[in-house]
Amino acid sequence: MAARRMKGLFVARLFGIPITLDYSWFLIFGLIAWSLAGGYFKNLLPWLKESTHWFLGIGAALLLFVSILLHELAHSLVAKAAGLKIRGITLHIFGGIAELEGDAKTPKEEIKIAAAGPFMSLLLSLLFLILGLLASQPELKAVYGYLFFINFILALFNLIPGFPLDGGRIFRGIIWLKTQNFYKATRWAVKAGTFFAYLLMVYGFFLMLKGALFGGIWFLFIGFFLRHAADSSYRYLILTRGLKGMKVKDMMITDYVSVPSHLTIQDFVNNYVLKHRHNSFPVIEDGKWAGIVSLNNVKQTPRESWEEKHVKDIMTPAEEDLKICEECDLSDAFVKTAENGLGRVAVLNTQDQLVGYLSFRDLETLVAVKGLPEAQ
């Protein structure tokens, strides 16, 4: 899935990979624990106390999320072995996502990385089946039975051959392998993804007509989510690939306007913002690039302090995701401008001097003018 960073609660670092819970995760965790306690466990073990149903419900829900985490870890570790960087794993309302930096370089890698997750879910399903058969206590049998079933469903659902689901990535890998054409493969896999997304929505609608309101809405949501994900990851991919091979220095703006860091905000507004009408400016301190100051930074500063505060007090200070080297690939610049929240990067030469400025919008325009690779 497109590597947009999600916000949430950092939990731990496993194999060097940060694990985060998106805030929507708590909602789904509560819902699952509740439906397991009041439905599944209550029906299966009616002689137990309600508190025991809840205990089992929460325990099974936790094990479900451990299973999802292991599914994402499987993707991540295979990707890591293939030399890709992993930004992190986030668990959210629809399950989980492993954020990889960049794409697999070969179709075989793509297939291996995509297949690792469902393979892990199938293994877990098998493990819980065996545990369930060996267990003698009915409580344990019920917990293992649920996990056997849900991991099996997870594997099957993820194997649906529509991008960006794992099955869609495997599908893309196979077409990529056969045609040696990455774009064609992606286009087909995205089409399949859109088809299955609509199918899920229709199914959800059908469920709602039959009176299963909650289940219906759930399938509608998943359909919408998948359609959107297919769409945006495709756009993202086409853009980054479309810029591959081009250098930052070919595209950067060299007649940018930089701002000295010691300027007061009042002077900055009068002499730069109102005069040049740009949304952001690179900031210079002692002849070196020090950060980026934007209109948003100004807006967040109370007007009374414009005379006392200086540009360096409100700017976003120089960080890795705000800068790029002039010899770097344009597609890397695209990823940075798309994700750093400012839509801009400062371009530096090998002596770390500011030599240019580049915006997300310029890159989008460039791809539009060049023609999308899919049109070729």
Residues that bind Zn ion (CB under 5 A): 117, 158, 166
Q: By C-alpha distance, which of 36, 175, 22 is closest to 110?
A: 175
Q: Which residues contact 73 (CB under 8 A, 6 or more apart)?
A: 14, 15, 17, 89, 98, 120
Neighbours of 294 (CB within 10 A): 20
CB of 128 to Zn ion, least distance (A): 18
At residue 259, the 3 state secondary structure works out as strand
Q: Active site residue: 50, 72, 339, 364, which one?
A: 72
Max CA distance (Å), the chain = 79
Contact yes or no for 166/115 (Cβ under 8 A): yes
CB of 158 to Zn ion, least distance (A): 5
Position of minimal CB gap to Zn ion = 117
φ/ψ of 90, rounded to 5, equals -120, 130
Tokens standing for residue 376: 């070729």
CB of 76 to Zn ion, least distance (A): 10
Give whole-number Cα distances, 44 to 30, 37, 49, 56, 130, in Å. 20, 10, 12, 12, 19
The 354-359 sheet, strands edge to edge: 323-325, 344-348, 354-359
Strands 354-359 and 17-22: unpaired
Could you tell me the sign of the dihedral formed by the alpha carbons of 148, 153, 159, 164, in that order?
A: negative
CB of 117 to Zn ion, least distance (A): 3
307 part of the active site:
no
Q: By C-alpha distance, which of 39, 73, 84 is closest to 57?
A: 39
CB of 18 to Zn ion, least distance (A): 18
Q: State which residue, 168 or 223, has the beta carbon closest to Zn ion.
A: 168
Q: State which residue, 119 or 334, has the beta carbon closest to Zn ion.
A: 119
Q: State which residue, 117 or 145, has the beta carbon closest to Zn ion.
A: 117
Contact yes or no for 155/118 (Cβ under 8 A): yes
Separation between Cα atoms, residue 261 and residue 125, nearest integer Å: 59
- Preceding amide of 164 cis, omega within 30: yes
CB of 50 to Zn ion, least distance (A): 35
Q: By C-alpha distance, which of 279, 248, 202 is closest to 349?
A: 248
Q: State which residue, 88 or 291, has the beta carbon closest to Zn ion.
A: 88
Amino acid identity, residue 242? G
CB of 364 to Zn ion, least distance (A): 29
Active site members: 72
